[in-house]
Amino acid sequence: MKKYETQMVQRDVLTSTICNKCGKEFINEDGHSNGEIEHFTVEFGWGSFIDMDVFMFDLCDNCFYEFVKTFKIEPEMGCSTLN
């Protein structure tokens, strides 16, 4: 025979994400991003002057687009395979 008891469990739930550039806050629904802001992780490899550092930040779509427009050479673009 199995006996069960009800236990309260605390967990961290993502409630919002803030753009590191403009400071706009995006409310998350059910712990998920609403698609208007993306998280970036950039790792610099051995030999770089910021050798082995990792930068993590969030940019909203507008700030990301404005950032990309500053490039001298346009980045390559493709379609996501995520659905």
Pure H helices in 1-83: 61-68
Kindly provide the b/e burial profile for residues 38-71, where b requires at least 16 CB atoms within 10 angstroms of the residue's own CB.
eeeeeeeeeeeeeeeeeeeebbbeebbeeeeeee
In the predicted structure, residue 83 carries a pLDDT above the cut 70 = no
Q: State the residue for tokens 């082995």.
A: 52
pTM equals 0.75
8 Å CB contact between 38 and 17: no
Give the pair of three-digit tokens for residue 20. Answer: 């590191």
pLDDT value of residue 49: 84
Integer-rounded Cα radius of gyration of the chain: 19
Provide the 8-state DSSP code for 18.
E
- Residue ranges covered by each domain of the chain: 37-71
In the predicted structure, residue 43 carries a pLDDT above the cut 70 = yes
